[in-house]
Structure 1
């Protein structure tokens, strides 16, 4: 029996009482005087008057409780052949030493520390050391261009930067230091101190007077036994700035607080993900994204779990069994990954043969988020793994799941295609463009009634007006998610597309997600993306980009007719789906999100700026060539 309905009702009846109880799991230097104050921000200010330190709650308190020997970080790097385990004792020593080094260079409470690192333990150490000092960290995805990095340097104005000589990928080495140097040359803000982790695969030159060798200075601090006490900060003080793409080209610096962030993440580790302290959790993402912040670094450590830090890919490092090897070797209880990672594995290993060699007896749950989880991929994973596959939905701005299926409270029935039910703290509504609620099953704008729960973003760094205009002006009293979807009769939330991806075909609003769902059910299709191409008669018509499974060769015209029939059967003739374009791969961000907006602009012949998060920019030229060839041929009958 699930306890979800009781927990959600408890929150609805007494929100402040609910979060007061959850806050008891956090160690406070000064307890909160007020649980929720809403005067200064539409998203609310949680635990007003409290003082705390996030690093203390992630590291020190576990050591003080006698758990110092417990594993904290399990580092696994197939691209370098390296594995390492950091105990909580070791993590405390490393974090305290780096904090001492940063403090000696003038970093203190409220200062910013920019972190530009690959997936190495030192990245988490830098995040925690910043939090230890009461500073505000801003992690920039390693390998971002010099231009994008310079924009973030000028916006955050860091007192110090922690970086590395390079990042290592299966087929290439990404030299970080030249990108960092170019960004610092471009930026108006001067950064006086840079700590550089030298990686043996490709070392770099250090600039005298600014750059210092990370291992040398931190090693000296460790040898000298230097320690740093945790600096208490207000619960409402910022913990980090995380930049997300903005429609104007200027990145948006999402601000996360300390107190509410800790309370919500620790609650979610127990009640949503169903983990116990001492177990191992793996979020297969990157520290540069919100998943890396919430569930590689902070969530597991707040709960006293071990977190897996994986420097590799779902396939190619070395094969489609990479994820299952990591789960088996590190005794992972729950994996959180993007559906696109599973689709990549399924494309190479459709029969799941790479699973069998690995002992997954301790593995309980697979969680999916980041992209819409199509029912075909969910069914494949559930069949091959024999485990619950739980889709859930959240955003950089919320910091933790808005909807899901709470394993820790007891699983609800899994409905493929749905992203679960609202979590306590989230009052999810579906509105039409005029702001009125729509009936169950009707496509609309997904919004959340204010205030947001703890861990919801408290602003955009240095952009108060933009914060209000972007998220709260369109539907007063609600947070606008910019996602479109519906709630079914049982209350499950279905996220169908970004609102920008809802297409208008001859006056009918259609979600690209529903068309993709039909296409992905075809046995030869590994993954797909649907965009709306401009059409003089109908306004827009859907265009499907399709990637076939490895080893499958199909006549394009025949496949196109089969897909048209599938869409007509499952969505209806109203979709007016007639165009299929087979491609070898889709343009994605480094976190695995398909760049549908970019693909739509290409389909319409518009000028396209290369997105900074695009993993392989050459894919855009492949898409352009495929589109030119396609548009010279007649559409499928």
Structure 2
């Protein structure tokens, strides 16, 4: 489909290059230069990292629309995160603070200490046969071993894939079959406020379900869990090892120089159906983009503490718990706990006070949970937050009410910014290190330098300011974004690059106002955002449809004041089914929980007589979602039976 856009690198009229108040040496000139001369812009940015062979070329366009950055450069990401700071005489500076609200303990690693741990575990992996290009799956809770394992894999030039520990065995097995790892690194389990989660049975079940045979499983043993590596050793043809025992006999491994274009990690994101989509991030452009973002977006550097309250299983944790703060020489904070319940809604403020946090990055879900439990922010008064200067928020849209509440309570800038697993860093932000622009509630501010953003209609024609449409990014994408999908360039093209010619399709809708500020309104597909977790309603529908009593179903994401969105299922039962609604609901919740995991938060089920469809058989999910959210809606003329919508309104919108 033709985009109707200029495929060149000139700044688009509706982008925020002319944002009001931009200084001559601030945001607007940087943004314009990044699009006008990306070669010079990004070669200059490449000086922020250390290279074994410095690149002489920024962009390789020979494989367009699959572009490569710094094709002649060589480096090691682990070296850039650790060794170079030690070599510069900063080995005694704090690198990683581990704060476990679950255990009531903290531990700080200097750059020297973290480097020693990473060198040793890299030696462990090398001893298990891991080499450059091999894959290592990491299935760990929020403990230091997660950071260490990621950096150790990167040190060898191996490709890591972190799988969130809350995912079910079926999901882990799918990732094992797709990535085909040599080693899985895991732990005894994770801790929740009122329970523990045993990981080893999940790993064993995943290995049994997967077609690919994993050679080794390494287990970080934790106290208080029922299972150990020893009891599973040999199962499914896999050797299981104790982390500490292997580390005691390992020789430290040095950094392996890899091409800038070699993969650093695979991170799986929710697709609509079928095989998981493994986003591939390379080594060189990833390091450059994150180093640039730390300086120019977050304004964080050596001697400062950045706390990203996320999980290493998600892209935010990859980028801003592990890699970016360490590449920048700052101190990063790893938090094992919740925003409420560990022990109360003052948990975040306790951590920020105790560790003198300069910049906090969290999800709107966390702020809404804190606000719900402590609406007047009374617990905040118990802590000294004088060091905290900026709150960054991403994961789903920051609603104006939560934005205003956080701004009043903290009396610091609250910066909503927008990005995706695929991009790896912010598409839109308020660039605090370049120039602090005026903040608008509900807006992710302006496009970040390097991202040529446009709003287009269904035919690819750019729409006027203020008009909502599809958000697209003109190619090439800047450094740090996905280079492909693991194992399938064709799927990368069809999923993202062929819908609008010359553009990457974000799958989000929104608009740009007269000042160039970007407003993200929601997804244009069936991937919903539950507490910052991108989950496929299509995948949930497939699971619900397996129940023997279900004839057909639809799962939609409806707005939720706490979690952003929540999935709601609407099912049509088979004729003659005598199963009660509550029994059916319990069955379906269990099915989704077993297949996707508790992160899906699938609890709401309604039995309906029929689902609204077009005459061609397409279920009108968007219309259902609009009704449920209380939005204006128009029943399409192609609907098969308008009476079905009338019958659904009271169920979709109680009182409707």
Contact kept? 1:485, 1:493, Cα under 8 Å: yes
Q: 2:196 aligns with which of 173, 183, 189?
A: 173
Per the TM alignment, residue 105 of structure 1 is displaced from its structure 2 partner at its CA by 1.2
Q: 2:89 aligns with which of 66, 69, 76?
A: 66
Contact kept? 1:279, 1:333, Cα under 8 Å: yes
1:526 — aligned with what? Answer: none
In structure 2, the CA distance between the partners of 1:145 and 1:359, relative to structure 1 (3 Å rule), is: same
1:124-135 to 2 correspondences below 5 Å: 124-135=147-158
Contact kept? 1:42, 1:451, Cα under 8 Å: yes
1:216 aligns with 2:233: no
Per the TM alignment, residue 632 of structure 1 is displaced from its structure 2 partner at its CA by 6.6
1:296 — aligned with what? Answer: 321
1:196-235 to 2 correspondences below 5 Å: 196-205=219-228, 206=230, 207-209=232-234, 210-221=239-250, 226-235=251-260
1:98 — aligned with what? Answer: 121
1:602 — aligned with what? Answer: 570
1:112-261 to 2 correspondences below 5 Å: 112-205=135-228, 206=230, 207-209=232-234, 210-221=239-250, 226-261=251-286
1:279 — aligned with what? Answer: 304
In structure 2, the CA distance between the partners of 1:635 and 1:360, relative to structure 1 (3 Å rule), is: closer
Contact kept? 1:25, 1:263, Cα under 8 Å: yes
In structure 2, the CA distance between the partners of 1:413 and 1:96, relative to structure 1 (3 Å rule), is: same
SS at match of 1:107: coil
Per the TM alignment, residue 633 of structure 1 is displaced from its structure 2 partner at its CA by 10
In structure 2, the CA distance between the partners of 1:63 and 1:190, relative to structure 1 (3 Å rule), is: same
Per the TM alignment, residue 208 of structure 1 is displaced from its structure 2 partner at its CA by 3.1
1:99-120, CA deviations, whole angstroms, 9 ceiling, x for partnerless residues?
1111111100100011000000
Contact kept? 1:198, 1:204, Cα under 8 Å: no
Q: Using the alignment, how far apart are the partners of 1:300 and 1:604 within structure 2?
A: 50
1:384 aligns with 2:409: yes
In structure 2, the CA distance between the partners of 1:181 and 1:492, relative to structure 1 (3 Å rule), is: same
In structure 2, the CA distance between the partners of 1:543 and 1:472, relative to structure 1 (3 Å rule), is: closer
Per the TM alignment, residue 276 of structure 1 is displaced from its structure 2 partner at its CA by 2.0
Per the TM alignment, residue 347 of structure 1 is displaced from its structure 2 partner at its CA by 0.7
Q: Using the alignment, how far apart are the partners of 1:56 and 1:130 within structure 2?
A: 12
Q: Using the alignment, how far apart are the partners of 1:88 and 1:220 within structure 2?
A: 22
Identify the structure with bigger relative contact order (alpha carbons < 8 Å, sequence gap 6+). 2
In structure 2, the CA distance between the partners of 1:35 and 1:543, relative to structure 1 (3 Å rule), is: closer
SS at match of 1:265: helix
SS at match of 2:565: coil
Structure 2 gap segments, 5+ residues each: 1-21, 530-536, 538-553, 575-587, 609-627, 629-646
Contact kept? 2:171, 2:596, Cα under 8 Å: no
1:428 aligns with 2:453: yes
SS at match of 2:70: strand
Contact kept? 2:167, 2:598, Cα under 8 Å: no
1:507-522 to 2 correspondences below 5 Å: none
Supply the RMSD in Å over aligned alpha carbons. Answer: 2.6
Per the TM alignment, residue 401 of structure 1 is displaced from its structure 2 partner at its CA by 0.3
Contact kept? 2:168, 2:597, Cα under 8 Å: no
In structure 2, the CA distance between the partners of 1:85 and 1:633, relative to structure 1 (3 Å rule), is: closer
TM-score scaled by structure 2? 0.80
2:473 — aligned with what? Answer: 448
1:332 aligns with 2:353: no
Q: Using the alignment, how far apart are the partners of 1:204 and 1:635 within structure 2?
A: 46
In structure 2, the CA distance between the partners of 1:545 and 1:403, relative to structure 1 (3 Å rule), is: closer
Q: Using the alignment, how far apart are the partners of 1:177 and 1:280 within structure 2?
A: 34
TM-score scaled by structure 1? 0.82
Contact kept? 1:46, 1:235, Cα under 8 Å: yes
In structure 2, the CA distance between the partners of 1:458 and 1:544, relative to structure 1 (3 Å rule), is: closer
Per the TM alignment, residue 500 of structure 1 is displaced from its structure 2 partner at its CA by 2.9
1:294-443 to 2 correspondences below 5 Å: 294-443=319-468
Structure 1 gap segments, 5+ residues each: 503-511, 514-530, 532-539, 548-585
2:133 — aligned with what? Answer: 110
SS at match of 1:620: coil
Q: Using the alignment, how far apart are the partners of 1:330 and 1:613 within structure 2?
A: 35
1:9 — aligned with what? Answer: 32
Q: Using the alignment, how far apart are the partners of 1:603 and 1:7 within structure 2?
A: 52
Q: 2:99 aligns with which of 76, 94, 99?
A: 76
Q: Using the alignment, how far apart are the partners of 1:629 and 1:477 within structure 2?
A: 41
1:37-66, CA deviations, whole angstroms, 9 ceiling, x for partnerless residues?
022252520001111100000000001111
In structure 2, the CA distance between the partners of 1:543 and 1:123, relative to structure 1 (3 Å rule), is: closer
Per the TM alignment, residue 150 of structure 1 is displaced from its structure 2 partner at its CA by 0.6
Q: 2:602 aligns with which of 615, 620, 623?
A: 620
Per the TM alignment, residue 394 of structure 1 is displaced from its structure 2 partner at its CA by 0.4
Per the TM alignment, residue 284 of structure 1 is displaced from its structure 2 partner at its CA by 0.6
